[in-house]
Amino acid sequence: MTYHLLIEARDRMGLIHSISGVLYEFGLNIEQNNEFVDPGHGRFFMRTEFSGDIDESILAAAISSRLPDVLIRISPKSEKKVVVMVTKEPHCLGDLLIRARYRELGMDILAVVSNHHGLRDLVEGFGVPYHHVPHEGRNREEHEHDILEIIKEYDPEYVVLAKYMRILSSSFVGQFPHRIINIHHSFLPAFIGAAPYKQAYERGVKIIGATAHFVNDELDDGPIITQGVIPINHTFSALDMAQAGRDVEKQVLAKALKLVFDDRVFIFGKKTIIFE
Amino acid sequence: MTYHLLIEARDRMGLIHSISGVLYEFGLNIEQNNEFVDPGHGRFFMRTEFSGDIDESILAAAISSRLPDVLIRISPKSEKKVVVMVTKEPHCLGDLLIRARYRELGMDILAVVSNHHGLRDLVEGFGVPYHHVPHEGRNREEHEHDILEIIKEYDPEYVVLAKYMRILSSSFVGQFPHRIINIHHSFLPAFIGAAPYKQAYERGVKIIGATAHFVNDELDDGPIITQGVIPINHTFSALDMAQAGRDVEKQVLAKALKLVFDDRVFIFGKKTIIFE
Amino acid sequence: MTYHLLIEARDRMGLIHSISGVLYEFGLNIEQNNEFVDPGHGRFFMRTEFSGDIDESILAAAISSRLPDVLIRISPKSEKKVVVMVTKEPHCLGDLLIRARYRELGMDILAVVSNHHGLRDLVEGFGVPYHHVPHEGRNREEHEHDILEIIKEYDPEYVVLAKYMRILSSSFVGQFPHRIINIHHSFLPAFIGAAPYKQAYERGVKIIGATAHFVNDELDDGPIITQGVIPINHTFSALDMAQAGRDVEKQVLAKALKLVFDDRVFIFGKKTIIFE
Amino acid sequence: MTYHLLIEARDRMGLIHSISGVLYEFGLNIEQNNEFVDPGHGRFFMRTEFSGDIDESILAAAISSRLPDVLIRISPKSEKKVVVMVTKEPHCLGDLLIRARYRELGMDILAVVSNHHGLRDLVEGFGVPYHHVPHEGRNREEHEHDILEIIKEYDPEYVVLAKYMRILSSSFVGQFPHRIINIHHSFLPAFIGAAPYKQAYERGVKIIGATAHFVNDELDDGPIITQGVIPINHTFSALDMAQAGRDVEKQVLAKALKLVFDDRVFIFGKKTIIFE
**Per-chain mean pLDDT for chain D:** 93
Instruction: Place A171 in a pLDDT band, splitting at 50, 70 and 90.
Output: very high
pTM over 0.90: yes
User: DSSP letter at A226?
Assistant: E
Q: What is the pLDDT of residue A75?
A: 93
Contact D135/D166 with Cβ under 8 angstroms? yes
Q: What is the pLDDT of residue D199?
A: 83
Q: What is the pLDDT of residue A178?
A: 94
Contacts of A57 (CB under 8 A, 6+ apart): none
In this structure, the answer to whether residues B67 and B99 fall within a common structural domain is no
For residue A51, the one-letter residue type is S
Contact A244/A253 with Cβ under 8 angstroms? no
Taking phi over 0 as left and psi of -120 to 50 as alpha, with beta for the rest, A88 belongs to alpha
Cβ of residue C203 closer than 8 Å to a chain D Cβ: yes
Q: How far apart are the first and last CA of chain D?
A: 21
For A15-55, write each residue's pLDDT tens digit: 999 999 999 999 998 888 899 999 889 999 999 999 999 99
Catalytic residue among C220, C221, C240, C262: C220
Contacts of B121 (CB under 8 A, 6+ apart): none
Q: Is D20 helix (H, G, I), strand (E, B) or coil?
A: helix
Taking CA–CA distances from A52, the nearest residue in chain D reads: D13
CB atoms under 10 Å from CB of B235, counted, come to 13
Cβ of residue D178 closer than 8 Å to a chain B Cβ: no
**How far is the C-alpha of B187 from the C-alpha of B208, rounded, in Å?**
6
Taking CA–CA distances from C100, the nearest residue in chain A reads: A91
In this structure, the answer to whether residues B15 and B47 fall within a common structural domain is yes
Cβ of residue D225 closer than 8 Å to a chain C Cβ: yes
**How far is the C-alpha of B233 from the C-alpha of B28, rounded, in Å?**
54
In this structure, the answer to whether residues B85 and B218 fall within a common structural domain is yes
Q: Exposed e or buried b for every residue in B144-172, given b needs 16+ CB within 10 A?
A: bebbbeebeebebbbbbbbbbeeebeeeb
**Per-chain mean pLDDT for chain B:** 93
In this structure, the answer to whether residues C187 and C64 fall within a common structural domain is no
In this structure, the answer to whether residues A166 and A133 fall within a common structural domain is yes
For residue A210, the one-letter residue type is A
CATH number of the domain to which C16 belongs: 3.30.70.260
**How far is the C-alpha of B162 from the C-alpha of B122, rounded, in Å?**
14
- A204 and B272: CB-CB below 8 Å? yes
Please give the residue range of the domain that contains residue C67: 2-76
**How far is the C-alpha of A37 from the C-alpha of D82, rounded, in Å?**
32
Nearest to A14 among D24, D34, D37 (CB): D24
**Predicted confidence (pLDDT) at residue C193 exceeds the cutoff of 80:** no
Q: Calculate the dihedral angle through the C-alpha atoms of D53, D56, D59, D63, rounding to the nearest 10 degrees.
A: 150
Contact B181/B213 with Cβ under 8 angstroms? yes
Cβ of residue C17 closer than 8 Å to a chain B Cβ: yes
Q: What is the pLDDT of residue C202?
A: 84
Q: Exposed e or buried b for every residue in D44-68, given b needs 16+ CB within 10 A?
A: bbbbbbbeeebeeeebbebbeeebe
**How far is the C-alpha of C229 from the C-alpha of D275, rounded, in Å?**
21
**How far is the C-alpha of B110 from the C-alpha of B84, rounded, in Å?**
8
Q: What is the pLDDT of residue B192?
A: 74
Best of C31, C92, C98, C249 to disrupt the A interface (most A CBs within 10 Å) is C98
Contacts of D82 (CB under 8 A, 6+ apart): D107, D108, D109, D110, D156, D157, D158, D159, D160
Neighboring chain B residues of D91 at a CB cutoff of 8 Å: 98, 102, 104
Taking CA–CA distances from C226, the nearest residue in chain D reads: D206
Best of A98, A120, A163, A239 to disrupt the C interface (most C CBs within 10 Å) is A98
In this structure, the answer to whether residues D58 and D175 fall within a common structural domain is no
User: Rounded to 5 degrees, what are φ and ψ at A169?
Assistant: -75, 160
Share of chain B above pLDDT 70, in %: 100
Total number of domains in chain A:
2
Least confident residue range of B145-149, C234-238, D248-252, D254-258: C234-238
**How far is the C-alpha of B265 from the C-alpha of B272, rounded, in Å?**
6
Find the mean pLDDT for residues A208-228: 90
In this structure, the answer to whether residues D126 and D207 fall within a common structural domain is yes
CATH number of the domain to which A87 belongs: 3.40.50.170
Shortest distance, CA C98 to any CA of chain A (angstroms) = 6
Best of D34, D96, D97, D98 to disrupt the B interface (most B CBs within 10 Å) is D98
Cβ of residue A272 closer than 8 Å to a chain B Cβ: yes
Q: What is the pLDDT of residue D267?
A: 96
**How far is the C-alpha of D162 from the C-alpha of D217, rounded, in Å?**
18
Catalytic residue among B38, B53, B121, B220: B220
Q: What is the pLDDT of residue B190?
A: 75
Q: Which chains touch C (3 or more CB pairs under 8 A)?
A: A, B, D
Neighboring chain C residues of D227 at a CB cutoff of 8 Å: 205-207
For B146-196, write each residue's pLDDT tens digit: 999 999 999 999 999 999 999 999 999 999 999 999 999 887 777 777 777
ipTM of the modeled complex = 0.92
User: Cα C182 to the chain's mean position, in Å?
Assistant: 7
**How far is the C-alpha of A212 from the C-alpha of A220, rounded, in Å?**
10
Find the mean pLDDT for residues D79-106: 96
Neighboring chain D residues of C227 at a CB cutoff of 8 Å: 205-207
According to DSSP, the residues that pair with A184 across neighbouring strands are: A211
**How far is the C-alpha of A190 from the C-alpha of B222, rounded, in Å?**
16
Neighboring chain B residues of C17 at a CB cutoff of 8 Å: 17, 20-21, 23-24
Q: What is the pLDDT of residue D132?
A: 98
Catalytic residue among D53, D155, D220, D263: D220
Number of A:B CB contacts under 8 A? 77
The angle at the Cα of D195, spanning D191 to D201, to the nearest 5 degrees, equals: 70
For C104-142, write each residue's pLDDT tens digit: 999 999 999 999 999 999 999 999 999 999 999 899 999
**Per-chain mean pLDDT for chain A:** 93
Residue that finishes a domain, picked among A76, A95, A113: A76
Cβ of residue A95 closer than 8 Å to a chain C Cβ: yes
For C233-247, write each residue's pLDDT tens digit: 999 998 899 889 999
**Predicted confidence (pLDDT) at residue A150 exceeds the cutoff of 80:** yes
In this structure, the answer to whether residues B32 and B114 fall within a common structural domain is no
**How far is the C-alpha of A22 from the C-alpha of A40, rounded, in Å?**
28
In this structure, the answer to whether residues A59 and A96 fall within a common structural domain is no
Cβ of residue B125 closer than 8 Å to a chain D Cβ: yes
Shortest distance, CA D77 to any CA of chain C (angstroms) = 24
**Predicted confidence (pLDDT) at residue D168 exceeds the cutoff of 90:** yes
Q: What is the pLDDT of residue C218?
A: 73
CB atoms under 10 Å from CB of A197, counted, come to 22
Question: Does residue C238 or residue C3 have the better pLDDT?
Answer: C3
Q: Is D270 helix (H, G, I), strand (E, B) or coil?
A: coil
Share of chain D above pLDDT 70, in %: 100
- C237 and D39: CB-CB below 8 Å? yes
For residue A3, the one-letter residue type is Y
Taking CA–CA distances from A27, the nearest residue in chain D reads: D13
Cβ of residue B103 closer than 8 Å to a chain A Cβ: no
In this structure, the answer to whether residues A241 and A256 fall within a common structural domain is yes
User: DSSP letter at D60?
Assistant: H
Residue that finishes a domain, picked among A31, A51, A76: A76
Q: Is position A38 annotated as part of the catalytic site?
A: no
Q: Calculate the dihedral angle through the C-alpha atoms of A170, A176, A182, A187, rounding to the nearest 10 degrees.
A: 60
User: Rounded to 5 degrees, what are φ and ψ at C5?
Assistant: -115, 120
Instruction: pLDDT tens for chain B, 276 residues: list them.
Output: 999 999 999 999 999 999 999 999 999 988 888 999 998 899 999 999 999 999 999 999 999 999 999 999 999 999 999 999 999 999 999 999 999 999 999 999 999 999 999 999 999 999 999 999 999 989 999 999 999 999 999 999 999 999 999 999 999 999 999 999 999 988 777 777 777 788 888 888 999 999 999 998 776 789 999 999 999 999 999 889 988 999 999 999 999 999 999 999 999 999 999 998
Q: HEC string of chain C?
A: CEEEEEEEEECCCCHHHHHHHHHHHCCCEEEEEEEEEECCCCEEEEEEEEECCCCHHHHHHHHHHHCCCCEEEEEECCCEEEEEEECCCCHHHHHHHHHHHCCCCCEEEEEEEECCCCCHHHHHCCCCCEEECCCCCCCHHHHHHHHHHHHHHHCCCEEEECCCCCCCCHHHHHCCCCCEEEEECCCCCCCCCCCHHHHHHHHCCCEEEEEEEECCCCCCCCCEEEEEEEECCCCCCHHHHHHHHHHHHHHHHHHHHHHHHCCCEEEECCEEEECC
Shortest distance, CA D42 to any CA of chain C (angstroms) = 13
Shortest distance, CA D141 to any CA of chain B (angstroms) = 33
Neighboring chain B residues of D128 at a CB cutoff of 8 Å: none
**How far is the C-alpha of C6 from the C-alpha of C13, rounded, in Å?**
18
- A234 and B189: CB-CB below 8 Å? no
Least confident residue range of A142-146, A188-192, A231-235, D251-255: A188-192
Cβ of residue B157 closer than 8 Å to a chain D Cβ: no
Cβ of residue A142 closer than 8 Å to a chain D Cβ: no
**How far is the C-alpha of C47 from the C-alpha of C36, rounded, in Å?**
9
Taking CA–CA distances from A221, the nearest residue in chain B reads: B203
Number of A:C CB contacts under 8 A? 36
Distances (CA, A) of C216 to B89, C138, C182, C224, C266: 53, 23, 10, 11, 15
Contacts of D130 (CB under 8 A, 6+ apart): D111, D112, D114, D119, D120, D123, D124
Cβ of residue A40 closer than 8 Å to a chain D Cβ: no
- C187 and D191: CB-CB below 8 Å? no
Q: What is the pLDDT of residue A255?
A: 97
For B266-275, write each residue's pLDDT tens digit: 999 999 999 9
Nearest to A21 among D17, D28, D31 (CB): D17
Cβ of residue A204 closer than 8 Å to a chain B Cβ: yes
CB atoms under 10 Å from CB of C147, counted, come to 23
Nearest partner of D172 among D194, D140, D130, judged by Cα: D140
Find the mean pLDDT for residues C165-171: 93
In this structure, the answer to whether residues B120 and B176 fall within a common structural domain is yes
**How far is the C-alpha of C16 from the C-alpha of C189, rounded, in Å?**
36
**How far is the C-alpha of B12 from the C-alpha of B33, rounded, in Å?**
18
Nearest to C13 among B13, B24, B39 (CB): B24
In order, the DSSP letters of D188-203 are TTTT-SS-HHHHHHHH
Neighboring chain B residues of D90 at a CB cutoff of 8 Å: 98, 101-102
User: Cα C228 to the chain's mean position, in Å?
Assistant: 15
Contact D64/D70 with Cβ under 8 angstroms? yes
Residue that finishes a domain, picked among B48, B76, B104: B76
Cβ of residue D41 closer than 8 Å to a chain B Cβ: no
User: Cα D77 to the chain's mean position, in Å?
Assistant: 16
Cβ of residue C14 closer than 8 Å to a chain B Cβ: yes
Instruction: Count how many Cα atoms sit within 13 Å of the Cα of residue D128 in the half-sphere of its side chain.
Output: 28
Q: Is D36 helix (H, G, I), strand (E, B) or coil?
A: strand
| Pairing between β-strand C107-114 and β-strand B180-184 as defined by DSSP bridges | unpaired
Contact D32/D49 with Cβ under 8 angstroms? yes
Contact D231/D207 with Cβ under 8 angstroms? yes
In this structure, the answer to whether residues C46 and C64 fall within a common structural domain is yes
Nearest to B36 among A203, A229, A234 (CB): A234
**How far is the C-alpha of B154 from the C-alpha of D225, rounded, in Å?**
45
**How far is the C-alpha of D111 from the C-alpha of D124, rounded, in Å?**
10
According to DSSP, the residues that pair with B224 across neighbouring strands are: B213
